């Protein structure tokens, strides 16, 4: 009733299999895009950009990448922070070596380099899985952080050991450095998020996504019916690492501007992105958005309510955030393994029949 499906007929297979088969869903999608591209850039300020919007956009890209690997292909990964570091340092080396090349090219090339590294560390998935694969990717996390700390070439022999993003512009508009306007950095990240979400959505609905899900559900049966596990697993690692590398490059160049790998891309970053995927929903592109939005909004809401309204000490509010995230992960894993995405799916199903009971 709410979606008004009556009269929404399909006359071709293309129309029947489109991403949003119900008109109401398509219109809502277009409205969200119009607001994101046409309204928010004109009202955004530095606080909203740095506290909410930029972290959400970048973490959503990383969550989509990890969700492809964990949610769609069923391969456990605890090395997301290390792969984000690869994207950040690759972007830094490209920015300093080729200052006249567009930042769009730098970010995409950083994602490509990260994809190659991801495939190399994904090779053990051909022989091991589950807990052992998690340990292997965890080893990749520690190795990559150690590598970027110990080899001075990666940070251009800087005495401080950190990397700083030089000021770069796109079409004359500065998007990196302290002088970059908030609307420009927001739009730059939004373009990449839209690009990654569209690619991920189409990949997961096509042949590649079906092979990933076949490997996830039962790899032996998938191999028997003709699915190549080598190709399926390595493409999942490559695509996932590509998205995570883009997120790392944006996190360094556009959001932070200066990075010390051990502090920014440590193991806590890997767990943060994994928590976004678990809370948002495994195997769901929308779940990646929902999980990223939730864990970006949670600290801000707790600070406003706990510190500003109730007057609690800051350290108590920080510890309360950890308690809430941990409790939610346990709750979702036990009661609703598909996370916020499944709750949204159930709500839509009820709205399709509202106000009728059947």
Q: Look at residues 335, 330, 281 and name the one whose alpha carbon lies nearest to residue 66.
A: 281
| Residue 184 or residue 312, greater confidence | 184
Question: Would strands 169-170 and 258-259 be described as parallel, antiparallel, or unpaired?
Answer: unpaired
What pLDDT score does 339 carry? 87
Q: What is the pLDDT of residues 46-57, one digit of tens each?
A: 888 888 899 999
Q: What is the pLDDT of residues 66-92, one digit of tens each?
A: 999 999 998 989 999 999 999 999 999
Quickly tell me which residue has 């360094």 as its tokens.
252
On the CB side of 47, CA atoms within 13 Å amount to 1
Domain boundaries, the chain: 44-266
Please list, residue by residue across 255-276, b when 16 or more beta carbons sit within 10 angstroms of its beta carbon and e when fewer do: bbbebbbeebbbbebbebbbbb
Confidence label for 65 from pLDDT (cuts 50, 70 and 90): very high
Q: Look at residues 116, 111, 17, 126 and name the one whose alpha carbon lies nearest to residue 73.
A: 126
């Amino acid at each position: 009733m709410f979606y008004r499906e009556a009269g929404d007929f399909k006359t071709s297979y293309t129309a029947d299999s489109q991403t949003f088969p119900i008109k109401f869903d398509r219109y809502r999608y277009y409205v969200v895009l119009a607001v994101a591209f046409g309204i928010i850039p004109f009202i955004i300020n530095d606080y909203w950009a740095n506290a909410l919007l930029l972290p959400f956009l970048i973490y959503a890209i990383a969550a989509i990448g990890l969700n492809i690997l964990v949610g769609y292909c069923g391969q456990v990964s605890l090395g997301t922070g290390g792969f984000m570091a690869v994207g950040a340092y690759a972007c830094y080396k490209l920015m300093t070596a080729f200052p006249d090349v567009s930042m769009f090219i730098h970010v995409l090339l950083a994602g490509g380099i990260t994809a190659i590294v991801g495939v190399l560390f994904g090779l053990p998935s051909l022989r091991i899985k589950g807990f052992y694969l998690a340990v292997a990717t965890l080893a990749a996390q520690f190795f990559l952080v150690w590598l970027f700390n110990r080899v001075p070439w990666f940070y251009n022999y800087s005495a401080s050991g950190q990397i700083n993003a030089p000021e770069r512009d796109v079409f004359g508009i500065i998007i990196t450095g302290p002088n970059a306007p908030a609307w420009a950095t927001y739009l730059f990240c939004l373009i990449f998020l839209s690009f990654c979400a569209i690619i991920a959505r189409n990949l997961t609905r096509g042949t590649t996504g079906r092979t990933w899900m076949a490997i996830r559900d039962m790899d032996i049966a998938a191999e028997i019916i003709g699915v190549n596990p080598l190709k399926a697993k390595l493409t999942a690692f490559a695509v996932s690492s590509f998205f995570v590398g883009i997120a790392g490059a944006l996190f360094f160049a556009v959001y932070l501007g200066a990075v010390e790998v051990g502090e920014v891309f440590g193991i806590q970053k890997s767990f943060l992105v994994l928590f976004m995927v678990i809370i948002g929903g495994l195997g769901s592109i929308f779940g990646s958005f929902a999980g990223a939005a939730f864990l970006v909004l949670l600290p801000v809401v707790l600070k406003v309510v706990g510190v500003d309204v109730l007057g609690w000490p800051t350290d108590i509010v920080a510890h309360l955030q950890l308690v809430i995230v941990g409790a939610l992960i346990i709750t979702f894993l036990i009661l609703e393994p598909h996370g916020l995405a499944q709750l949204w799916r159930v709500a839509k199903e009820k709205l399709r029949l509202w106000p009728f009971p059947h």
